[in-house]
Amino acid sequence: MSQEKENRQYENAQSVQEGQQPHKRRVRYKGRYPKKYEEKYKELQPEKYQDTIQHVMQKGNTPAGMHISIMVKEIIDFLEIKPGQIGFDATLGYGGHTKAMLQCLQGQGHMYATDVDHEEAAKTKKRLEDLGFGEDILTIKLQNFCTIDEIAKEVGGFDFLLADLGVSSMQIDNPKRGFSFKADGPLDLRLNQEAGISAAERLEHITRDELAGMLYENSDEPYCEELAKAITDEIRKGNHMDTTTKLRQVIEKTLDFLPEKEKKETIKKTCQRTFQALRIDVNREFEVLYEFMEKLPGALKPGGRAAILTFHSGEDKLVKKALKAGYKEGIYSDYSKDVIRPSAQECAQNGRARSTKMRWAIKSE
């Protein structure tokens, strides 16, 4: 044993005796692109390891702890932001869209943003402050974006507005949040972990019919009946569905009857749809979006512009229906009859952009 190692062991033993936490060496950064989240410390410190960040992004991947904003050019082109205007970002997230909109204001006007994720919002606030976007031009509120009417009343309405309805990459990638079936972690799925119940708690008391309905309504899951039976049967046996791995394993077992050539891909898509359905349910996403779309016209100033990014058919149908109805009633002078999609180049650089649809509306003068 080396002298250095002996010294370290002695120091650790002394620390334990004195009631202190022993020094713990950081996990070695394994290879160029480690797979485990806790091993990706270089990606989690973009300000220190820019070369690593660039390598990861050049591969078409999103670095851990980061989020690559989608369709920034298309959004900015549509919103036509002018210095002095008042804007609203419904979902602050990593702050990429917010930053682009703030830059358009050129130091004049004000942006308001909401987010229910207290932990990520604090990081984003610091990140934007370091770029020169402090409280004089940006106000961040830790509340749901369906409270847009309260904020609009307080500030006199918005000239431009963005609602990016997607879950941020830093939430998906962190195993502690439970958004992904690819890594083991608690089956949580809440955007705000300080409110409501987790997906695991939700499943504890759900009926078979209710779960089948949730899977079908929230994600068009074709195997909703089979999955609902398998999951509720496991819970009834006392096998708590409290981790992402346990839920994935039940899905795999349930679909084991599929032909080998299609089994792997079908299980992957079924996992994605099941986790999506649970996430929508525990965060009341459809209810929140419906309320937001109802309040949207009253929050916009005459001539105000709104852009909305959706990521699955349920969201898109709801947004499309609301904008079309508003146009027919004369609330909007124009709206997007067709969706705008990210370019092929953007999808190649950021795989998470592929399912994105953008719709827009302009408030009547």
CA–CA separation, 241 vs 249, rounded Å? 10
Reading the block at residue 168, the tokens are 């941020």
Q: Tell me if residue 41 falls in helix, strand or coil.
A: coil
Is 95 annotated as belonging to a binding site?
Answer: yes
Is 77 annotated as belonging to a binding site?
Answer: no
Q: Could you count the other beta carbons within 10 Å of the beta carbon of residue 22?
A: 12
Is 181 annotated as belonging to a binding site?
Answer: no
Q: Are strands 357-363 and 300-310 parallel, antiparallel or unpaired?
A: antiparallel
CA–CA separation, 120 vs 92, rounded Å? 9
Q: What residue has token string 């009834």?
A: 236
**Nearest one of 62, 150, 79, 68 to 308, comparing CA atoms:** 79
Q: Could you count the other beta carbons within 10 Å of the beta carbon of residue 175?
A: 17
Q: What residue has token string 């105000």?
A: 304
Q: What residue has token string 């898109």?
A: 316
CA–CA separation, 46 vs 68, rounded Å? 13
Is 96 annotated as belonging to a binding site?
Answer: yes
CA–CA separation, 87 vs 192, rounded Å? 24
Q: Could you count the other beta carbons within 10 Å of the beta carbon of residue 226?
A: 17
CA–CA separation, 220 vs 240, rounded Å? 25
Known binding residues: 95-97, 115, 145, 164, 171
Known binding residues for S-adenosyl-L-methionine: 95-97, 115, 145, 164, 171
